[in-house]
Amino acid sequence: MGLEDTNMQDIDEDLHSRQLAVYGRETMRRLFASNVLISGMQGLGAEIAKNLILAGVKSVTLHDEGCVELWDLSSNFIFSENDVGKNRALASVQKLQELNNAVLVSTLPTKLTKEQLSNFQAVVFTDIDLKTAIEFDDYCHNHQPPIAFIKTEVRGLFGNIFCDFGPEFTVTDVDGEEPHSGIIASISNDNPALVTCVDDERLEFQDGDLVIFSEIHGMTELNDGKPRKVKSCRPYSFFLEEDTTKFGMYVKGGIVTQVKQPKVLNFKPLKEALGSPGEFLLSDFSKFDRPPLLHLAFQALDKFRCDFARFPIAGSEDDAQKLVSIATAMNESSGDAKLDDLNPKLLRDFAYGARAVLNPMAAMFGGIVGQEVVKACSGKFHPLLQFFYFDSIESLPTEPLEPSDYKPLNTRYDAQISVFGSKFQKKLENTRSFVVGSGALGCEFLKNLALMGVSCGTQGKLTVTDDDVIEKSNLSRQFLFRDWNIGQAKSTVAASAATLINPRLQIEALQNRVGSETESVFDDTFWENLNVVINALDNVNARLYVDQRCLYFQKPLLESGTLGAKCNTQMVIPHLTENYGASRDPPEKQAPMCTVHSFPHNIDHCLTWARSEFEGLLEKTPSEVNAYLSNPSEYTSAMKNAGDAQARDNLERVLECLDRDRCETFQDCITWTRLKFEDYFSNRMKQLIFTFPEDALTSTGAPFWSAPKRFPRPLEFSVSDPTHLSFVLAGSILRAETFGIPIPDWAKNPKKLAEAVDRVIVPDFQPKQGVKIETDENATSLSSASIDDDAVIAELIKKLEQRTKTLPSGYVMKPIQFEKDDDTNYHMDFIAGLANMRARNYSIPEVDKLRAKFIAGRIIPAIATSTAMATGLVCLELYKVIDGGHKVEDYRNTFANLALPLFSMAEPVPAKVIRHQDLSWSVWDRWSIKGNPTLRELIKWLSDKGLDAYSISCGSCLLYNSMFPRHKERMDKKVVDLARNVAKMEIPSYRRHLDLMVACEDEEENDIDIPQVSVYFR
């Protein structure tokens, strides 16, 4: 069934905005036309189905002939104990349908025939024997058009994926990244030609890339749109495989842009690939020899199941030996592919857990496989070619288990017990955990923890906090929320949904932001009682704060984040690893203010300016007006005291808003917007060109308008240009909103709006001499102070006071806060209009409203698949944290990019250890002294460690310095009293200690960096 057979439906951009930022419209349309079969509705099948339904395929058909067992509840978030005995597919359909009503979810509870596969673009099998898999795959491989076939399974802490998308599969976009580009500075007349770009940003081209050129002056032969190959790529230059000796001389300008090429992949059918698997996709370079062994192990398990019609029994040495024997025999007959070492211990662990589908493994593989289905249906991103094997054997408890530990207890955790043992399950249940955030990551974590039984015991407790409420755009990946929850608190709804997954979950939901202002809520006792902290945050500052708290209280922190198809995880383990804040990404490069305001050269600059103007005109200025009107004397007094350019600007804006630009009718709002158009896109451009003509030179004699600067052209307003009219409509409606003016019905009629615009009288503009336009890239403000600021401010206040007398009593304005996720509020219409008109001024390619929303709204691209994978990986590490006996080399930090696909796992960086005499410490240590000591006692306590304390601070206040004679008088005072009286510290009643920063020397007067010192006074 071809994709073209389905009518394209409209994309709900409010719902799918974060996903659209990853995939784009074309991929989404292809997804909406795709029918997918998922066979096997245990934990893995449920995770894949969830991710695809959230993504918005056309239909998902669930196939399973088996019935729900209590065993399934270890990994399947859909089933409850009431579903035991029901068909798995039928028991799944209702809850999965709730995730997205636009997707048709249906069931197939009977035996599947290969002919039925022709109804689908992609089929996924999570529990199928190799013989049937080969038969089904052959059918799919040879079908016209080919049907994408994916076979995947998770067995305990082991998993695999096989993909076959047909003999010839075209990938339209191999990595999902925006095409790279550069601004040209020069091109030589050579063979090959050397192209140099401005050093504004590094070039990201690679040898062999194809590029096209545009906007070149002089060497116009390159503007023909023909892709050309580059080589010898450097950060700011490259060679072009082109003879330009007979081309025109390069004069100026030009943009070079990468052309993304489609790639055709040739997949082997499963039968052939089993014997000739090619290169395995590696995930962990410390296990480079593991994939061939697992390739054999999974085939041996398939034969075991065929021979004995069951899985090996957990803890059965006899069954483990049978599996090893089968693997050995298969290996002996494998010819050149024979392995030297079969690793019997690994195969034994594999056999023990083979029947179990663990939730973290299902979550991780559900994310990867869900993404592979998206690739199969859309051609977006590079598919997995063809086998992927993974294990997390390090997650097993460090202490060996007795065979009796594996025995099922007739509970929902039996599958997990068959891998980790019943004692470890108790540890999980009695864990006191803290999940910070309940958005996309938080929802996945709560589901995972509920299924694993974390904090589900009588002594366990899970605290989740999030100060946000649910919005429509959350529903495409925050799967615990439904459309009827919009506007409700995220943490409360997520906690309720998690208890439906596992009613034994001991969960408390809070709506507090975690930060210094809530330390009375999350106090010392709260932190001290925790076993583990899991971050599910979306900003660096909050992560750093939680990191500092975990460091201080020596609690493990499991950190993760996603960006589109990318995800990363970081384990922060007390005394073993470095903390989250130990290594930081460099800050994002910001465009200079003068570039944004006068010399933009890309659409990002235009949108940054547009967002700034929106906030200035519609939020900040009305807020300033209200601040003045609420207390005129206090406001004017503050402006007089400031007496600077900023105060002058504020007063000018307030006076303008209440005097010349005050609107009383909707026609006034139209007039204001039409004049804004003239000011922004015509007058300012004319002034810029007057100040810096096209042939202007810099002080060094170089052309002023050289790359990356683009020479501007003023716009001429026309009511027949729909973009001009749309700009006026959006601006007028928003202006009217700030003044509380009702919007007349005729406003949205283009003909009547055009007539109203034609009534506006636009004054002529004459550029002025001596106007200063900022060109310094290091300038941080466009306001320039002048010697007569005080006199100007006094005059402005006088005019303002006179104007205020004419206002009706109780007059206030209504500031507008930017809200990107409401397509009916005209916010993005106005910002996109501002940005695109400005882009037109500078001949920069314009963007549609959706693209403008991504950039101006600073939308973080997000999809359900990478979120699921990240949380699965974190929960595999959680097993290690709860066990408590693992070494740093057992833990894994991960970076993954599902688009490529790339998985890179590595040991965390160990914490740096400082040594002094027989002492050693790291960033994790905090020295505590009890008994409410005096300053003398504290210094003596440090002296006994061979340390001479010469400076002691509390907060930002110095309590003691050996160079200050008067500080000797403080020696017999209690440290806590010095903190109160000298540092003026207010110590809350719940605080039992205070923290000091102490500078010390050793006997040779070398500075020693010691841990924070906590002085306990209660």
- Cβ(751)–Cβ(851) below 8 Å: no
Compute the 3-state secondary structure of the chain and give helix, strand, coil in percent, each to the nearest 5.
45, 15, 40
Long-range CB pairs of 943-946, under 8 A, 24+ apart, other chains included: 945/916, 945/917, 945/919, 946/916, 946/917, 946/919, 946/1002, 946/1003
Give percent of the chain above pLDDT 70.
98
Q: Whole-angstrom Cα distance, residue 754 to residue 729?
A: 10
**Region of poorest pLDDT, from 308-312, 410-414, 585-589:** 585-589
**CB–CB of 354/156 below 8 Å?**
yes
Any catalytic annotation for residue 657? no
HSE toward the beta carbon, residue 979, CA cutoff 13 A: 24
Written in H, E and C, the secondary structure of 848-870 is CHHHHHHHHCCCCCECHHHHHHH
Tell me if residue 835 falls in helix, strand or coil.
Answer: helix
DSSP sequence for 152-207: EEEEBTEEEEEEE--SSEEESBSS-PPPPEEEEEEE-SSSSEEEEE-TTS-----T
pLDDT at 305: 97
Mean pLDDT of the chain: 94
| Non-local CB neighbours of 435 within 8 Å, separated by 6+ positions | 442, 445, 446, 449, 462, 463, 464, 465, 534, 536
Q: CA 48 from chain center: how many Å? A: 21
Cα four-point dihedral sign 883, 885, 889, 890:
negative
Question: Looking at residue 592, what is its pLDDT?
Answer: 83
For 713, counting Cβ atoms within 10 Å of its Cβ (0-12 exposed, 13-18 middle, 19+ buried), the class is middle
What pLDDT does 787 receive? 56
Contact 562, 539 (CB under 8 A): no
Average pLDDT over residues 422-445: 97
pLDDT of residue 12: 86
**Angle ∠(504,510,512) on CA atoms, nearest 5:** 155
pLDDT of residue 777: 76
CA distance 365 to 173: 23
Buried b (16+ CB within 10 A) or exposed e, 193-229: bebbbbebbebebeeebbbbbbbbeebeebeeeeebe
pLDDT single digits (tens) 869-900:
999 999 999 999 999 999 999 999 999 999 99
pLDDT value of position 7 = 39
pLDDT at 438: 97
CA separation for the pair 221, 251 (Å, rounded): 13
CB neighbour class for 956 (10 Å; exposed up to 12, middle 13-18, buried from 19): exposed
Residue 903 has pLDDT above 70, yes or no: yes
Residue 904 in contact with residue 894, Cβ under 8 Å? Answer: yes
pLDDT of residue 778: 73
Q: Pick the catalytic residue from 306, 443, 594, 663.
A: 594
120, 122, 123, 126 alpha-carbon torsion, rounded to 10°: -150
Record the tokens describing residue 588, joined without a space: 């994002």
Residue with the two structure tokens 């939308």: 859
Q: pLDDT of 943-958, one tens digit each? A: 999 999 999 999 889 9
What mean pLDDT is predicted for residues 140-168? 98
- Residue 230's Cβ-count burial label (10 Å; 0-12, 13-18, 19+) is buried
Q: Which amino acid is at 439?
A: G
Give SS3 for 531: coil
Question: Burial of 141 by CB count in 10 Å (0-12 exposed, 13-18 middle, 19+ buried)?
Answer: buried
Residue 114: band (very low, low, confident or very high) from pLDDT cuts 50, 70, 90: very high
Q: Is the pTM of this model over 0.85?
A: yes
Residue 5's pLDDT band (cuts 50, 70, 90): very low
How many residues can be counted in the chain? Answer: 1018
> Distance between CA 522 and CA 527 in Å, rounded?
7
Q: How far apart are CA 83 and CA 305, in angstroms?
A: 26
User: Is the separation of the CB atoms in 105 and 93 below 8 Å?
Assistant: yes
The average pLDDT across 212-223 equals 96
Which among 43, 898, 889, 906 is positioned nearest to 388, based on CA atoms? Answer: 898
962: pLDDT strictly greater than 90: yes
- Decide if pLDDT at 3 tops 50: no
Res 8: pLDDT: 40
Could you give the C-alpha distances from 826 to 18, 727, 732, 832, in angstroms and in order? 20, 10, 10, 10
Least confident of 85-89, 386-390, 1004-1008: 1004-1008
* pLDDT exceeds cutoff 80 at 588: no
Q: What is the pLDDT of residue 781?
A: 64
pLDDT value of residue 6: 37
